[in-house]
Structure 1
Amino acid sequence: MKLARILFPLPLPEPFDYAIPDGLDVQPGSYVRAPLGKIERTGVVWEVKERSEDDTRELKPVLDVFPVPPMTEAMRKFVSFAARYNVAHPGHVLAMVLRARGGLTPSPTQTLYVPTGHRSNRMTDARIKVLEAAREAGPTNAAELARQAGVSPGVVKGLVEVGSLDAREVETDLPYPQPTNFGRGEHLTGEQQEAGETLRAAIAKGGFQPFLLDGITGSGKTEVYFEAIAEALSKAGDAQVLVLLPEIALTQAVLKRFEARFGAPPAPWHSGLSDAERRRTWRETAHGRARIVIGARSALFLPFRNLKLIIVDEEHDTSFKQEDGVTYHARDMGVMRAKLEDAAIILASATPALETVVNAEQGRYQRLKLSARPGAAKLPDIELVDLRNDPPEKGHWLSSRLTHALTETFEAGEQSLLFLNRRGYAPLVICKACGERLKSPATESWLTEHRYTNRLVCHLTGWSMPKPAACPMCGAKDSLMGVGPGVERVAEEVRQLLPRARVEIFSSDTAQTGEDTRGIVERMAAGEIDVLVGTQIVAKGHNFPNLTLVGIVDADSSMKGGDLRAGERTFQLLSQVAGRAGRAERPGRALVQTYATENPAMIALAEGDRDGFLQIERDVRAELGLPPFGRMAALILSAPSAEMIEEAGRLTGAAAPNGEGITVYGPAPAPIGILRGRHRIRFLVTSTREIDLSAYMAAWLKGLKLPTAVRVSADIDPYSFL
């Protein structure tokens, strides 16, 4: 007799044992239904083992097996690794795998109608309209046919009864078209071709091989990793490729490039998809029919059948760090998944993370460099504008140098991009009468004024309200004033400066869907926008041939706070934004407004000395033992009251295990001390690289005895310190 050990997508410590009924084909990795308590639940068979003779337990039976290929052993190992490394329940990681459970069953079907060519003797005007609509539309459901013909659905049914229409059951979720073009790319530069051939040779050889594709902005990294994709797909008829992108906007923008190169669009995966689209991608991936999948970080947890290549584009981007639920970094988890799948992985970036650069220098990754843009395109000239010497006029945010450059660019018929990583009109609203700074209820987060909608919004929690006519604290009327600039305020200033210019804002407020994003990108590419004012979404891989001027309104904003990566992030972001200019024949330039011209990040940016900047960052972190030369983790606690969180912090600190080479800092109030009515504190843990910090954090959590109202979460390799 055999038993199945089933893992459920729940916060449970381990898989549960179940009896396997006779005649039920249960394998390791099978997706099954089984009773848990009084409820039937979906789970995955983690292993099948022989039941010992002395095992007299009365086990509940496996109820059913879903008609899906079993989860591979590599995928099961990846789920277990991700859970252990990120100090999470394996069931929580499995829940990310099973986000589209509709894909476990065959595609739903629908009835479509097509003309048979038979004409009944009893043809009415209504029936004739339906047949004409059916001939023009092709296979169509009854409701749509009736709508197009302007008749009731009963007319369609009548035509079926007399044999003039044929009803056919077809699947709703059609398979994705298969890629057909695996040949070499055209018009590659020498550098691109050399890098592409290196990747093709490595993938033809097979096995786990990590690469850093290090190319300046606009150097054609996408064309190079297309070579790797073509080789992977041509190697085996069932080989699959995963491409991770940092933003949904990018996912939408590059689909056409993939289709043009490989003859078929990739399967998409991101939070903007409908439930039907998600189940389709999940099902096709699980069955091995989706050959190329392109998506956001969660696509890493799709159940591929034969994954041979992973690409992490813009690998430095902080969007790859998941902050809610199971915290993980998709780049780091992607490397481990590639290792477990025995697949290749390509990390691509113009400004790679220091961790990735150090791994390449130490020989863990093979580095491929692209140092030039194709054709006549050149990197833009970058100039620092010292705001201490050239301050904007009172009530304005653009220096005289930047306003002059904007005017020149507009008059030359070229496009400009202004970057400010603050949404809305003003990031702070203050009462001139009493000095009150308006905050979100039960949260120590300032409200941002959005003038277009006349609302005050908390960008941390999403809470919003109409802008009041009087101060909520003192009641003074017309006393609320926006302080500081957001993209709306900068756009307003540009409209005053260039009244004839077509100015648009590009942020998550104006691009809430993929369609919105495509619209803005297409209008900019078509020359229908003169000045684009945007947040960091503008830095994400867009190519605007007529863009020749980039203005960075406040380069210092991301340097603030205690984030150890603040300088690196600033350099990466500003380099990416500046790199949008001069990507065609016309030369580009970037003006960077700053009060910190002596900052190493600013100096390196102006001099184009990325490697010199990284050397400074490397030296500082090596001296302090910070990542990538040491390990770091965080423990975040929250509770309903200040008294409870204070006591929880004391108990948690007392429960911290002793460990050589490990230092625990805290508890300390989190920078945002109250969030959604809960008081928050943090512990920070550092260690040497040799120490298994995940195991230490798991042991610490296991020994904690706290009230149920206290929430605790661990964050391995933290990127956010809020």
Structure 2
Amino acid sequence: MTRARVLLLNAALGPLDYRVPHGTEVEPGSIVVAPLGPRQLLGVAWEPDRMPSDAEVGDNRLRNLLAVADVPPLRAPLRRLVEWTADYYLASPASVLRMCLASTSALEGARTVTEYRVTGEVPPRLTPQREQALERIADRQGLIRELATIADVSDAVIRGLVKSGAIEAVEVDIDSPFVPPDPDHAAPTLNPGQSEAAAALVAAVADHRFEPTLLDGVTGSGKTEVYFEAVAEAIRQGRQTLVLLPEIALTEPFLKRFHDRFGVEPVAWHSGLRSTQRRRAWRAIAEGRALVTVGARSALFLPYANLGLIVVDEAHETSFKQEEGVHYHARDVAVMRGKFEQCPVILASATPAIETRQQVALGRYAELKLPDRYGPAEMPHIAAIDLIAEPPERGRWLAPRLVTALTETLDRREQSLLFLNRRGYAPLTLCRTCGHRFQCPNCTAWMVEHRLTRRLACHHCGHVEPVPRACPECKGEDTLVACGPGVERIADEVALLFPEAKTAVVTSDTIWSPAKAAEFVGRMEAGDIDIVVGTQLVTKGYHFPNLTLVGVVDADLGLEGGDLRAAERTFQQIRQVSGRAGRGEKPGRVLIQTHSPQAQVMQALITGDAETFYAAETEARREAGAPPFGRYAAIVVSSEDQPCALEIARLVGRTAPKVDGMHVYGPAPAPLAMLRGRHRYRLLVHARRALDVQDVIREWLGALEWPAKARVTVDVDPYNFL
């Protein structure tokens, strides 16, 4: 190649042509450094016929490429995925490509880093904190900051242990190879149903064929053990596996289960990694040395050298939908990556999304069912508590029957879980004298009181401020009152009712890293926690055999707001959290507090009749032409200048094309009319399934112009209607 078409990591630019210097080899997929004015930008060489340029430039006007990175080129299947994702989600190819090159340090040469480990020497002065640090670090190795986090001590304690010789420094090659997993390390004993499902998945991996499969198993049925057999087959073939998890907090429990099965941990990929860990993982994945990667949705765009299997665990989870930047859904993009790579894709879930179930009904996805729990464990008994007939005591949030059940569970030395999907102490704080409410200065949202940190926080933009002593409006002291419950308030009630019980609050505020998740799991397994009070973070992935009671504090909460998927999401969430009970030999029990026990979703949960619920929900979607039977796309116009945002939103609405089978609603103020200081207006496009709505929107918006201070974003297949 004497010239190369390069897609730069700049969303404002299209592909540009460069001259390839003599003696330099560039092929499609090569990662290059290219000049742009006085700057140097990263980019990837692309096939000219797949990435047309706006202007053809003669050879004599081309600038030379500056360098080619010493890493494998991005393979054709990944380049096709970049093109498809950009086209489907109406994003710039550069924005998608940036996710593939998520570790720029991986493109540099070899490097080392200083880490620290315990030597076994006992320091002369063994304080309680030093003893705790040495005990918790054990055989782990890492940076001083990491060891301090693991040990829950200050950096100074670790530095003191280094000086005393109890901890030593070691120079580590940050690209050191990962130990390959052993597919025969601890092969499980599967029951007949599991063996049959595993055999089908193993066959798909062995045949190197693209086949999306829904692995639909009740909670506790052993779905992980089943798809681990497919992972083992991919390892035997020397091919790579990607396992996607919806939450970073689930990574640590998964790593432990994987280690028990395969003898080593897989390669992890998530936002909690430091840059050197990301570099090592990225290079090992690109070179094919990392055989199994487990990660959050961003792991989907890594440059796997030889991908043989993709697993999407908890595939129904809405957190697989990216809400910032490129608005992709990892479940759907995973299926497309499997298609481009010609490898099987497993969607594992106890409560599959209606979109996935419809693909099975159409014959596009295969389905494997695991209807029973593994071993002696049985599904928990589920009952509703009618809050109108059995209200909690005044000023309390737990009904008498749930309190009695908690007492009985504590008496049996078993563990309980109280679920409420609302962080903080209370969703609203107001002044009882003048009625003043605390609102976020950047968003149209109320500030949420967090008593553990003594802060008011906005859960949309992250703004925090201390709780004032006096009302800022009327200046009255001791007049502020918390309205409604959050998990912290429920934890306070539990502490009043059961002062001897050991309670843990589990939310994204307390479990923000895999290390914190591991600490929580360790305490649960050691019996150091009697009652867990948590949000949706504890509804999935955890296996605690001694947890026998689940109480859903407010089952109606998820049904508020008029969301298209509200009933389905409520069913999934409560069914998942119910599945935490009775996973061992002890029977489980679930009590659901609701004001509407006769509602269809509540009856489905109580009776366990998921099929009738899904059939009714599916039919309602079909009649409304809603997904998966129709298409939605949200267009959000935002600006710090409210008149500007309104003017551009009206322009977008006025120029909406008249297309058969497509309707445009709005503009109207978004439910969150201001977010992070930007005023927002929303239009909703509703189209029939067969219409290529992306082409219509691309042509429609492409003909418009708006000032730089306004921003127009498109969310294809939206999940968040705020």
TM-score normalised to structure 2 length: 0.91
Q: Is the 8 A contact 1:632 1:718 kept in 2?
A: yes
Contact 2:175 2:283 in 1 (8 A): no
Residue 660 (str. 1) matches residue 660 (str. 2): yes
2: CA distance, partners of 1:250 / 1:140:
21
User: Is 1:525–1:543's contact at 8 Å kept on the other side of the alignment?
Assistant: no
| SS of alignment partner, residue 61 of structure 2 | coil
Distance 2:687 2:73 in 1: 39
Find out whether 1:580 has 2:570 as its counterpart: no
Q: Show the counterpart of 1:621.
A: 621
1:716 partner amino acid: V
What's the counterpart of residue 320 of structure 1? 320
Give the match's secondary structure for 2:597.
Answer: coil
Equivalent in the alignment of 1:198: 200
1:182·1:231 contact (CA, 8 Å) conserved in 2? no
On the 8 A contact 1:2/1:48 being kept in 2, the answer is: no
Partner of 1:392: 392
Q: Give the whole-Å Cα distance in 2 for the aligned partners of 1:576 and 1:112.
A: 40
- Is residue 2:96 matched to residue 1:72? no
Could you give the per-residue CA deviations for residues 457-514 of structure 1, whole angstroms, max 9, x where no partner exists?
A: 1111111111001111222211111100011110111111111111111111111222
Cα distance in 1 between the residues matched to 2:356 and 2:487: 32
Instruction: Determine the structure 1 residue equivalent to 2:247.
Output: 247
Matched, 1:291 2:278: no
Instruction: Specify which of 197, 207, 210 is matched with residue 209 of structure 2.
Output: 207
Return the alpha-carbon distance in structure 1 between the equivalents of residues 556 and 426 of structure 2.
17
Is residue 174–residue 280 contact of structure 2 (8 Å, CA) maintained in 1? no
> Which structure 2 residues correspond to residues 704-715 of structure 1 after superposition, within 5 A?
704-715=704-715
Q: 1:631 to 1:111 in 2, by over 3 A?
A: closer
Once residues 163 and 634 of structure 2 are traced to their aligned partners in structure 1, the CA distance between those partners, rounded to angstroms, is 63
Distance 2:627 2:249 in 1: 30
1:270-349 to 2 correspondences below 5 Å: 270-349=270-349
Distance in structure 2 (CA, Å) of the matches to 1:80 and 1:176: 31
Contact 2:382–2:592 at 8 Å: present in 1 too? yes
Kindly provide the amino acid, as one letter, of the partner of residue 215 in structure 1.
Answer: G
Which string of whole-angstrom CA distances, capped at 9 and with x for unpartnered residues, describes residues 50-92 of structure 1?
99x9945410111111110110011111011111111000001
Whether the 8 Å contact between 1:216 and 1:370 is mirrored in structure 2 is yes
Structure 2 residue matching 1:416: 3-state secondary structure: strand
CA distance in 1, matches of 2:513, 2:26: 42
Partner residue, 1:221: 223
Contact 2:7-2:45 within 8 A present in 1 as well = yes
CA drift of 1:280 comes to 1.1
Q: Structure 1: any 5+ residue segments left out of the alignment? A: 114-136, 157-166
Q: Is the 8 A contact 2:185 2:263 kept in 1?
A: no
In the alignment, the residues of structure 2 paired with residue 54 and residue 275 of structure 1 have an alpha-carbon distance, to the nearest angstrom, of: 38
In 2, are the aligned partners of 1:622 and 1:629 still within 8 Å (CA)? yes
Aligned to 1:360: 360
**Preserved CA contact (<8 Å) 1:9 1:93:** no
Tell me the amino acid that sits aligned with residue 176 of structure 1. Answer: F
Is this contact kept in 2: 1:596–1:602, CA < 8 A? yes
Answer whether contact 1:182 1:234 (CA < 8 A) is retained.
no
Structural mapping, 1:468-479, within 5 Å: 468-479=468-479
| CA apart distance, 1:182 | 4.6
1:183-582 superposed matches below 5 A: 185-235=187-237, 237=238, 239-582=239-582
SS in 1 for 2:303: coil
CA contact (8 A) 2:543 2:580 kept: yes
Letter in 2 for 1:15: P
Cα 1:401–1:703 shift into 2, 3 Å: same
Offset at 1:8?
1.0
Deviation at 1:289, TM superposition (A): 0.8
2:91 corresponding residue in structure 1:
88
Tell whether the 8 Å contact from 2:183 to 2:233 is kept in structure 1 after alignment. no
How far apart are 1:422 and its partner, in Å?
Answer: 0.8
Separation in 2 of the partners of 1:325 and 1:179? 35
Q: CA–CA distance in 1 between the matches of 2:159 and 2:429?
A: 54
Work out the CA distance in 1 between the residues paired with 2:114 and 2:400.
66
Query: Bigger shift: 177-186 or 397-406?
Result: 177-186
Q: Distance in 2 between matches of 1:347 and 1:54?
A: 46
Are the equivalent residues in 2 in contact too, given 1:604–1:610 (CA < 8 A)? yes
1:282–1:302 contact (8 Å) kept in structure 2: yes
What is the number of residues matched between the two proteins? 680
Determine the C-alpha separation between the residues in 2 that align with 1:435 and 1:57: 72
Contact 1:502-1:528 within 8 A present in 2 as well: yes
Q: 1:231 to 1:438 in 2, by over 3 A?
A: same
Structure 2: which amino acid aligns with 1:108? R
* CA–CA separation in structure 2 for the residues paired with 1:524 and 1:353: 30
| 1:185 and 1:223 in contact (8 A); partners too | no
| Worse-superposed segment, 210-219 or 10-19 | 10-19
The 3 A distance-change label for structure 1 pair 390 and 146 is closer
| Post-superposition offset of 1:95 | 1.1
Q: Retained in 1: the 8 A contact 2:502–2:530? A: yes
- 3-state SS, counterpart of residue 322 of structure 1: coil
Question: Does the 8 Å contact 2:210/2:343 carry over to 1?
Answer: yes
The alpha-carbon deviation at position 150 of structure 1 amounts to 5.9
Distance 2:235 2:142 in 1: 34
- 1:628, distance to aligned residue in structure 2 (A): 0.5
Q: C-alpha deviations, 1:628-686, integer Å up to 9, x for none? A: 01111100111223322221121111222222111101101111111222211111011
State the alpha-carbon separation in 2 of the partners of residues 617 and 86 from structure 1: 26
CA shift, 1:332, in A, is: 0.4
What SS is found at the alignment partner of 2:45?
A: strand
Aligned to 2:122: none
The answer on whether the counterparts of 1:28 and 1:48 sit within 8 Å (CA) in structure 2 is no
- Report the Cα distance in structure 1 between the residues aligned to 2:713 and 2:365, rounded to whole angstroms: 32
Task: Give the CA deviation at 1:111.
Answer: 8.7
Q: Residue 104 of structure 1 corresponds to which residue in structure 2?
A: 107
Confirm or deny: 8 A CA contact 2:269 2:295 kept in the other structure. Answer: yes
- Secondary structure of the structure 2 residue equivalent to 1:308: strand
Aligned-residue identity in percent: 51
Which residue matches 2:719? 719
* Separation of aligned partners in 2, 1:662 and 1:716: 14
Q: Which moved more, 1:39-48 or 1:186-195?
A: 39-48
Alpha-carbon separation, structure 2, partners of 1:312 and 1:110: 33
Structure 1 residue 110: Cα displacement: 5.6
- 1:320-351 residue CA offsets vs partner (Å, 9 max, x unmatched): 00000111100000000110111110000000
Distance 1:372 1:448 in 2: 41
Change in 2 beyond 3 A, CA 1:54/1:500: closer
Structure 1, residues 495-542: CA drift from partner, whole Å, max 9, x if none?
Answer: 111111111111111112222111112211221111110011011210
Displacement after TM superposition at 1:276 (Å): 1.0
The one-letter code matched in structure 2 to 1:61 is N
- Name the CA shift for 1:557/1:150 in 2 (closer, same or farther; >3 Å): closer
| Closer, same or farther: CA 265–183 of 1 in aligned 2, 3 Å | closer
Matching residue's letter, 1:233: I
Structure 2 CA distance for partners of 1:411 and 1:150, relative to 1, 3 Å = closer
Match of 2:646 in 1: 646
TM-score by length of 1: 0.91
Evaluate the alpha carbon distance shift between residue 704 and residue 219 of structure 1 in structure 2; reply closer, same or farther with a 3 A threshold: same
* Preserved CA contact (<8 Å) 2:250 2:517: no
The 1:184/1:494 distance shift into structure 2, 3 A limit, reads closer
Give the letter for the 2:229 counterpart.
E
1:23 equivalent to 2:26? Answer no
Q: CA deviation at 1:704?
A: 2.0
The answer for unaligned runs of 5 or more in structure 2 is: 117-138, 144-157
Change in CA separation of 1:406 and 1:721 when aligned onto 2, cut-off 3 Å: same
Give the residue type in structure 1 aligned to 2:500: R
Tell me, in whole angstroms, the C-alpha distance in 2 between the residues paired with 1:5 and 1:105. 23
Q: What amino acid is the match of 2:652?
A: T
Cα 1:358–1:60 shift into 2, 3 Å: same
